[in-house]
Structure 1
């Protein structure tokens, strides 16, 4: 973690913005980790009240993580107009490379959490399929951040989306879009 006084940076603006972007990223990463930790706390021998409290915490953590990830994905995280100047070409390539590593990872982690929790929180399957629209949106160009490296290919994400659509069909019926309207 960077020293807290770096948060007071104002000049140059690019460095202050980059610092805030990293802080946002670490907050998102921590939120996803808290979801996994909470999920691990579930025990088969929980009584009704304990299970209800756990489920409420679990739902809240997933919702917070989802909101934070989507907020990060829908901003120009680590890429601003200042980095596109010719004098900053190497720095821009470095930041794009960081995005190519972590944007697909965040998308896949969130998608996996949402789909895996569908048994306890049925609306999460709908949220997982709604994430596809964010990834495909040309305003954010998140699809450009998927690289050809194993585990970070767009095809891997589309395979996970396919599994989510199939999971949506588990409830019966043949309409693959029914889960989006429920």
Structure 2
């Protein structure tokens, strides 16, 4: 959703202000058709829908089950468990805090509000996604650290317990 830019060459571009997208981007499309204007807010909303698609592995609209934003809200309210939202094909192979950050960011992007809608800016979204990626990278790095045999000087470390991250 939003402006579509096609590069004809390195120096020439064509910008189309025609809305494009799926029914799952309904809020942004509706605002476009009502006002004839595309805004950063509509782009942020659309990006939030795409984030939810990526996190859940589901399409934006499921006949008889509604829009992805409502489905995710309902699952979170019902279970409070990110596992009920995350794409089951991931098999739980993700950092829980990272997945929460992605879903929380997507939900903030899809707030249903008007002008000055309280949605984050794309710069804010990028910062949140970088934080999420850092959490996931840390999980991957922890998993790749080889396990070594404990030595007697490791007892002090073991008796102090794990440190908080």
For this structure pair, what is the TM-score category when the shorter chain's length is used for normalisation? under 0.3
With the length of structure 2 as denominator, give the TM-score of the two structures. Answer: 0.26
Larger strand share, 1 or 2: 2
Q: Which structure shows the bigger proportion of residues in helix conformation?
A: 1
Relative to the length of structure 1, the TM-score reads 0.24
Structure whose alpha-carbon radius of gyration is higher: 2
